[in-house]
Amino acid sequence: MASGGKSSKDKVVAVVGGGLVGALNACYFARRGFQVEVFESRDDIREAKVVRGRSINLALSHRGRQALSRVGMEEKIVSKGIPMHSRMIHSLNGKQSPIPYGKKGQYILSVDRANLNKELLTEAERYPNAKMNFDHKLQDWSPDTGLMTFLRPDGSTQSLRADLIVGCDGAFSTIRKQFLRRSRFNFSQTYIPHGYLELTMPPVAGEFAMKPNYLHIWPRNTFMMIALPNLDKTFTCTLFMPFDEFKKITTGYDVVEFFQEYFPDAIPLIGVEALKTDYFRLPAQAMVSIKCSSYHINDKCVLMGDSAHAVVPFYGQGMNAGFEDCIVFDEIMDQCNEDFGAVLPEYSRVRVPDDHTIADLAMYNYVEMRAHVNSKWFLFRKKVDDLLHFLLPKTIVPLYTMVTFTRIRYHEALQRWHWQNKVINQGLLVCATGAVLGGSYLIAKHPPKIPSIPIEKVWDRLLSLKV
Ligand code: FAD
Ligand code: EGU
């Protein structure tokens, strides 16, 4: 088994954070036989009545599904997800245009965040060697000894040591604070000018207010709204706009006026009164992009999920990437015989370039959508992508397809996209050059036989045309 004398059965793996990635990771480590301790600052969300937090539903795609399937959870989650086969683009005039994600089997799923988290916690608890510790907020830890200190709700503290600490404590990670103190640790964080706010669109006469099996999008350059379906036949609409614009809207009247201008078709579906109140229920939330490297400290600690890479949500990949982290780590555990001293540096080496790429792609998409994506442009771009893919299925694969429906490494998908763009540009150049050369050749070889007409006759002809 593992080097260092201890077998996996004797080693304690502390997973800090019982969110989506932490709960899934607990399953991965428990399956290998480690003594898994999950520490989560919140109360058990399965007992809490209302969980107010980040986005209510999420788009689950291939990478996330693959990660779930390795711990036998894919079916359970997919069966409670709502397939979205196409986007539905809402134009300003109320017109709706579907654009499929791909072939028949290519769809993404709208899943409930709270339910996904609960199912994963329950699954982790099924392993006798996994234990959940709720109401344990990590305060600090020591990279030298692996000793962690937790704050309990009664104000007391509790200390524990682990052989490996897996930081899954989200974008504002406490685990990461110790990384920041070390030499040669790279870190960058960028807040974007946009915030987001969630609104619920209720069912109409017991049915979905809009077509359910779509990701609904209202692209309006600076402003954008997205809606994903829920099992209770509601939609969760997420409105994205700059904080400066959020500030300008202070009354219910302002909200309705704003929607009148940009999302008129959504007003009756959300309901004027609901819109006026829901809008002010919570302040707009910020979005941050975080990159860092390396992801590990010696053989003691590793970062995964948002604690390692928070991405802006404009590719629907944050959770999917975090779930894929778990697969990548698990594969390296096999390759390195669970020797943490070898696994951790290898994990950083392999995973950093891919996570950095998805962070860049998501940011790039944010900048692009904000700059010039209205409904016409969105429809046009996706149709061009799909047409080229149809004409040259092996050569040209749209970037979103590689990101969403394959496990091609993110950095390879980006490289391939650059290469494809070159091919497309050269193809266009060849076509254009060919047209000019071919045309010139034909004209030279077969000069058009224009009968020479005396100039005075031209005038006569023109006059006769008029009559
Ligand atoms: P989190 O979900 O943040 O979990 C961290 C956990 O750690 C929490 O439970 C927290 O309570 C706990 N914790 C924090 N600090 C401590 C501490 N000191 N001690 C103990 N516990 C602690 N991704 C997608 O794939 N598809 C989407 O469609 C999508 N849409 C999104 C839309 C929006 C608006 C946003 C903001 C994000 C979206 N994401 C999406 C991204 C996704 O939400 C995240 O990538 C994902 O939640 C990351 O999971 P995580 O477990 O790493 O972090
Ligand atoms: C944003 C917020 C459409 C859930 C990117 C597409 C998102 C999601 C797109 C949110 C867009 C944008 C893609 C998917 C997905 C598209 C994608 C974005 C889910 C390029 C709950 N994005 N999102 N791209 O192609 O690949 O449909 O909050 F509007 S799913 Cl911004 Cl595939």
Tens digit of each residue's pLDDT (9 = 90 or more) over 81-108: 999 999 999 999 999 999 999 888 899 9
For residue 120, is pLDDT > 50?
yes
Higher pLDDT, 442 or 398: 398
Question: What local confidence, expressed as pLDDT, does residue 354 receive?
Answer: 98
* Ligand 1 mutation target, pool 77, 141, 169, 178, most atoms within 8 A of CB: 169
Q: Whose CA is nearest to atom 31 of ligand 2?
A: 314
Q: Which residues of 215-244 are buried (b: 16+ CB within 10 A; e: fewer)?
A: bbbbbbeebbbbbbbbeebbbbbbbbbbee
- The tens digit of pLDDT for each residue in 332-372 reads 999 999 999 999 999 999 999 999 999 999 999 999 888 88
**Before 294, cis peptide (omega within 30)?**
yes
pLDDT class of 288 with cuts at 50, 70, 90: very high
* Ligand 2 mutation target, pool 222, 400, 402, most atoms within 8 A of CB: 400
In angstroms, what is the span from residue 465 Cα to ligand 1's centroid?
A: 74
Which element (helix H / strand E) includes 444? helix 410-445
Around ligand 2, the residues with Cβ closer than 6 Å are 55, 58-59, 87, 108, 215, 217, 226, 228, 238, 313-316, 365, 369, 400, 403-404
Taking the CA of 136 as reference, the closest ligand is 1
In angstroms, what is the span from residue 118 Cα to ligand 1's centroid?
A: 14
> Quick one: which atom of ligand 2 is closest to the CA of 382?
25
In angstroms, what is the span from residue 395 Cα to ligand 2's centroid?
A: 24
Q: Whose CA is nearest to atom 12 of ligand 1?
A: 17
Mean pLDDT within 409-416: 98
Taking the CA of 370 as reference, the closest ligand is 2
| Residues 163 and 340: beta-carbon distance below 8 Å | yes
Q: Which residue from 271, 206, 283, 278 is spatially nearest to 247, judged by alpha carbons?
A: 283
DSSP calls for 233-274: S-EEEEEEEEHHHHHH--SHHHHHHHHHHH-GGGHHHH-HHH
What whole-number distance in Å separates Cα of residue 116 and Cα of residue 113? Answer: 5
For residue 465, is pLDDT > 80?
no
Mean pLDDT within 454-464: 64
Q: Whose CA is nearest to atom 15 of ligand 2?
A: 316
pLDDT class of 454 with cuts at 50, 70, 90: low
For residue 411, is pLDDT > 70?
yes
Taking the CA of 177 as reference, the closest ligand is 1
Q: Could you tell me the pTM of the whole model?
A: 0.92
Mean pLDDT within 306-322: 98
State whether the beta carbon of 70 lies less than 6 angstroms from ligand 1: no
For residue 462, is pLDDT > 80?
no
DSSP calls for 42-106: S--TTT-S----S-SEEEE-HHHHHHHHTTT-HHHHHTTSEEE-EEEEEPTTS-EEEEE-SSTT-
In angstroms, what is the span from residue 362 Cα to ligand 2's centroid?
A: 9
The whole-angstrom distance between residue 305's C-alpha and the CA centroid of its chain comes to 12
pLDDT class of 4 with cuts at 50, 70, 90: low
For residue 66, is pLDDT > 70?
yes
Question: What local confidence, expressed as pLDDT, does residue 51 receive?
Answer: 59
Mean pLDDT within 410-428: 90
For residue 467, is pLDDT > 70?
no
Question: What local confidence, expressed as pLDDT, does residue 442 receive?
Answer: 85
User: Hey, how many other C-beta atoms are within 10 angstroms of the C-beta on 111?
Assistant: 23
State whether the beta carbon of 314 lies less than 6 angstroms from ligand 1: no
For residue 376, is pLDDT > 90?
no
Task: Give me 250's structure tokens.
Answer: 């202070």
> Quick one: which atom of ligand 2 is closest to the CA of 403?
26
In angstroms, what is the span from residue 61 Cα to ligand 2's centroid?
A: 11
Task: Give me 116's structure tokens.
Answer: 């996904």
In sequence order, the β-bridge partners of residue 148 are: 141, 160
Taking the CA of 57 as reference, the closest ligand is 2
Question: What local confidence, expressed as pLDDT, does residue 450 receive?
Answer: 67
| Residues 302 and 341: beta-carbon distance below 8 Å | no
* Ligand 1 mutation target, pool 25, 27, 42, 55, most atoms within 8 A of CB: 55
pLDDT class of 1 with cuts at 50, 70, 90: very low
Q: What is the mean pLDDT of the chain?
A: 93
Question: What local confidence, expressed as pLDDT, does residue 451 receive?
Answer: 59
Which element (helix H / strand E) includes 108? strand 108-112
Share of the chain above pLDDT 90, in %: 79
User: Hey, how many other C-beta atoms are within 10 angstroms of the C-beta on 269?
Assistant: 18
